[in-house]
Amino acid sequence: MAKKIYDILPPKLANKKKSAVAKQAVVGKVDMERKPKRPSAVAERARQKRGVETIIPPSIVRGKRRAPLREIMAGSAVILLLLSIYLYNKLPKADIQIWPVMEQFSLQEKITADKTVLALDVSRKVIPAQYMEEAQDGWQEFLATGDVNTDKKATGTIKIYNKLNPAAAFTLIKGTHFLSDSGKYFVILEKVVIPAAQYQKGKLVAGSVSVKVEAEQAGEDSNIGPSKFSIPKLSGTAYYYSIYAESTATMIGGHQGSAKRVTKDDIDKAKEDLSKKLLSQAETTLRGKLSEQDVVIDNSLQKTVIDFTTTAKADTIIEKFTANATVKVSALIFKKPDLEQFAKGSIGLKLSEAETFLEKSLEVSYSPASVDSKKGSALMDLKISVPAYKSMDENALVNLFSQKTSDEIKSIISENYGSDVSKVEVDFWPFWVKSAPKNKNRINIDLMFE
């Protein structure tokens, strides 16, 4: 049967539909009043996407449930109780300071530092040593300080004539003076025999001989040209006009002045100064190769001048000269930790098992008794000084202090160490704590040294 379609509902159907709609509206209104609905999550996300603000009805806000005060107080009490238990177990701490009685312990030993030893040996009283050397060479120019007179006398040759009649040979001694016609004196340098004159073709011919002469005074004035000479000491005798001389060449070499010359003191000072300079450089280089732990043994430092030369000998006339030298510095060296380790070992052998010492206050000094550079060894006097005190087993004390009061802790220390302890201080924390905590990790013992 075909379904009917109405443009206008019949009165009965229209009234029936209105009645159903009205009923549904009443039911919806009641539901809204009873239980306001929140927008669904999907609807809310859709609205946010579209930029539509969600508005929660006031009835929903007014209907939010609040936590009861009783429940809040109960929760706080539980938390406070748990916190108190935690703090009671974790916070308590005990600090115990103990001042041991200190006594200064001194010891003297003789030890040997030897380059042939590889490791220290307390029983044999030896420590290792190391031999080091550094060579250095160099040169320096020095001034000559000596003064020398450079005056020179003119020299030349004269020919002496003998025209004695009757003829006879004539002898002149060394140093005989001759006077030139210009007034300059010259002397012969050796003894001279002048041959006798001879007659030739009825005429007397003088005998002659040539000799070296030297001016009596230094200076350029004696550099005279060819001249005639007489012998002043023959003046007034028959020989004065018969014995005479002449020169055919200029006298040369006459000079007057001064110059510097190298003296022995100049050479000695040059050696001292240059050697000192090079030795200092060599020592600086050697020490620069050492570490902070290396110690140069006193009296083992050897400084040697291997070679020294100069370009001029003493009395050489020259203003400057050069000196050359080669030097060497050598030394025996030991390690500071080896000396300290030896001292600690020696102290350990002397103290009783119940004693110990304060390492940070250890004082060690040495002085070399003898040094053998060839063998590379040195015998040294060693002085050791350190504060010593009664040993304390801190772990055992911690076990005894657990849960003990301040007085009980002091009593325990007194019973175990008595007069070996001068002072004890006990401090608990926090302020309400009256005994050491059960947790031994919270008990701290400090040994105090003043």
Average pLDDT value over all residues in the chain: 86
pLDDT of residue 3: 44
How confident is the model at residue 30, as a pLDDT?
43
| Residue 431 confidence (pLDDT) | 87
Rounded-to-integer distance, Cα 180 and Cα 226, Å: 9
**Closest to 331 (Cα-Cα) out of 274, 273, 285:** 285
Residue with the larger pLDDT of the pair 67 and 105:
105
Q: Three-class SS of residue 68?
A: coil
Q: Domain limits of the chain?
A: 151-256
Distance CA 71, CA 343 (A): 73
> Which pLDDT score is estimated for 41?
53
pLDDT reported for residue 373:
85
DSSP string, 218-264: ESGGG---S-EEE-GGGTTSTTTTTEEEE-SS--B--B--EEEE--H
Chain segment 324-340, per-residue pLDDT in tens: 999 999 999 999 999 99
> 407: pLDDT confidence band, cut at 50, 70 and 90?
very high
Q: In this predicted structure, what is the pLDDT of residue 73? A: 80
pLDDT tens-digit map of 55-94: 455 544 454 555 578 778 877 777 777 666 666 666 899 9
- Tens-digit pLDDT profile for residues 29-38: 444 444 445 5
**pLDDT reported for residue 125:** 95
In this predicted structure, which of 76-85, 300-309, 404-413 has the lowest mean pLDDT?
76-85
As beta bridge partners, residue 212 has 157
Token readout for 312 is 């001029």
pLDDT class of 23 with cuts at 50, 70, 90? low
Q: How far is CA 291 from CA 137, 294, 300, in A?
A: 25, 5, 18
Per-residue pLDDT for 195 more than 70? Answer: yes
Q: What is the mean pLDDT of residues 129-152?
A: 94
User: According to the model, what pLDDT value does residue 420 have?
Assistant: 92
What is the pLDDT at residue 126? 96
Residue closest to 194 by CA, chosen among 166, 165, 158, 162 = 162
On the question of pLDDT at 9 being above 60, the answer is: no
Mean pLDDT of 219-244: 95
Within 66-162, where are the H helices?
69-90
| DSSP symbol at 317 | B
- Looking only at the bridges linking them, the beta strands covering 126-128 and 103-114 are parallel
Q: What percent of the chain has pLDDT over 70?
A: 83
Q: Tokens 């290792």 map to which residue?
A: 128
In this prediction, residues 98-109 reach a mean pLDDT of 94
Strand-strand pairing, 443-447 and 93-100: parallel
Position 6 scores a pLDDT of: 43
Lowest mean pLDDT of 15-24, 275-284, 286-295, name the range: 15-24
